[in-house]
Amino acid sequence: SIASADMDLNQLEAFLTAQTKKSGGITAEQAAAIAKFWKNHRAKVHESLVSRSRWDNVLRNISWRVDLKAQHRHLQQINTTPVAIVEMELGRNGQ
């Protein structure tokens, strides 16, 4: 929760206080250890999460087409609802 919300120190303190007051929650010592870790490693954790969750800007291929109704019982209904289909092939660096 702390990492996904990228909590600042005020948010972290409020969150850990709530966790210590919960039944079956963490102890004050555990909260202090988590706070110390987060203060020292917040930037590294955030960068790691961002690097794992984003695609590199590699577009390998793109193709598209528009599908139209070419045949229908009534002439007025031909090509009334065209559908565009786009196919993209994405890649990561080194793959």
* Domain residue extents for the chain: 3-53, 57-92
Which tens digits make up the pLDDT trace of 7-35? Answer: 999 999 999 999 999 998 999 999 999 99
Report the pLDDT value the prediction gives residue 19, as an integer from 0 to 100.
93
Q: Which amino acid is at 22?
A: K
**Of 40 and 79, which is predicted with more confidence?**
40
Reading the block at residue 95, the tokens are 């793959």
Model-wide pTM > 0.95: no
**Of 16 and 95, which is predicted with more confidence?**
16
Which tens digits make up the pLDDT trace of 47-79? Answer: 888 877 766 667 777 888 877 666 666 666 555
Distance of CA 79 to the CA centre of its chain: 37
